[in-house]
Amino acid sequence: MPIIITADDFGYSAETVDATISCFEQRALTSASIMVNMPASERAISFAKQHPKFSFGVHLTFVSNGYEHPVCGAQQLPHLVSSNGQFMNSNVVRILALLRCLSVEEIACEMSAQLGKLRDFGVPISYVDSHGHLHKFAPFLRAMRSVLPRFGIRRVRGVQNVYLKPPR
């Protein structure tokens, strides 16, 4: 059975790209999920195109820690972005997702845009996962069910368990 070792956030920053490339070169990784709309995305995408022996996915992004903004444009995603045009804070999105107050159509629109952007750069997409493991929440799952088949994507990386309190 092959073991897949993957890294998230490929493209988030120059430092993240450097560290991920170093891990690939040292054979510590077999895969990485690319954030398509971040400061170092172009460099991550360039590496992926030059190294087809590795597997690459899309690290779907719907929350912001300061840099993250949508591919679609804020006006198309009124329930996913804040007044500054960036995605909302992770905790806010999680609460809205649990309450099922997010638009599945808006999520699907942005998901399609992110997948399409990487596909259009010529990087084969092996799988998807999401920043902050949001794809475990119902609105994101519903959007994936409608979007992923259109891109021929059949793999979704499993999510981290939720830890509400640190272990003692």
Pair 36, 68: CB distance under 8 Å: no
pLDDT digits (tens, 9 = 90+) for 53-92: 999 999 999 999 877 889 998 899 999 999 888 999 999 9
Residue 161's pLDDT band (cuts 50, 70, 90): low
> Rounded to whole angstroms, how far apart are CA atoms 132 and 88?
12
pLDDT digits (tens, 9 = 90+) for 47-63: 999 999 999 999 999 99
Tell me which residue of 123, 136, 145, 147 sits closest to 54, measured CA to CA.
123
Question: For the chain, which domains are there?
Answer: 6-151 (3.20.20.370)
Tell me which residue of 77, 66, 87 sits closest to 110, measured CA to CA.
77
> Rounded to whole angstroms, how far apart are CA atoms 130 and 34?
10
3-state helix/strand/coil string of 120-162: HCCCCCCCEEEHHHHHHCHHHHHHHHHHHHHHCCCCECCCCCC
pLDDT digits (tens, 9 = 90+) for 34-49: 999 999 999 999 999 9
Task: Please say if the pLDDT value at position 153 is more than 80.
Answer: yes
The residue length of the chain stands at 168
Return phi, psi of residue 140, to 5°: -75, -40
What is the distance between the terminal CA atoms of the chain, rounded to a whole angstrom? Answer: 34
